Amino acid sequence: MKPARILIIAGSDSGGGAGIQADLKTVTLLGGFGMTAITAITAQNTLGVQAVHPVPTDMVLAQMESCISDIGVDAVKIGMIGSAETAAAVADRLAQLRDVPIIFDPVMVATSGSLLADDATISAFEKLMAIATLITPNIPELAALGGEDIAARYGTHVLAKGGHGEGPMLTDRLLAPDRVLKAWSNRKIETVHTHGTGCTLASAVATGLGQGMNLVEAVERARKYVREALALAPGYGSGHGPMGAPLGFHAHA
């Protein structure tokens, strides 16, 4: 069995906790083969984002084309998108793929609170939501996108994540266009080291789908992986630090 080929379209995080760096670690540890189309270069650490340099749209598309045309793709993960123009162009190119699951993590604000998408880019997310197999927003992102009825509006699935919720128990709900497929509740892991949780979860789901899991199985394994990674956080930095790497995680758990 060759590893599943996962194309990651996202921004680079110099601090290594989120973005392309977190995505590649996750795909690799879960037994996949990661490829990248980098949409932006960021200078960031556990305290926030100090600078952002968007990659031109034609260069993002060129990276995608290099991977798609030669190596092939079993699943796609979209994270930070860089600009409205890039969002539209990426959606147009991905719409040409056949039977390839697409996971869209609508990155708007970093864990530190730094803004990673302007209003024009967020409005361009509509084209990405329309082609996505699964959208993975946190509570504020879901509200900004229009609430839970985006599953029905775009004919897609939504993992409504509860990580920003209040109280000791948090619930993630997997929504189909017409119903709740499954809900998971767990006790909140008390830690400030949550940088990269969204990137990691979406990449883990993409890897599972690329490996042939169904959506519920892929989300279940991804959630277990993120919870283990949170528990292993090394405590780097003086802000929202990176998660750990569950090196012994059973790739087919």
> Could you give the residue numbers annotated as active site?
161, 194, 196-199
Q: Are 200 and 243 in contact (CB under 8 A)?
A: yes
Residues 178, 75, 225, 217, CA torsion sign: positive
Question: Strand runs (DSSP E) across the chain, as ranges?
Answer: 5-13, 33-45, 48-54, 75-78, 102-104, 134-135, 157-160, 169-175, 180-187
Q: Are 131 and 94 in contact (CB under 8 A)?
A: yes
Q: Are 81 and 126 in contact (CB under 8 A)?
A: no
Rounded to a whole number, what is the distance in angstroms from the first to the last CA of the chain?
Answer: 17
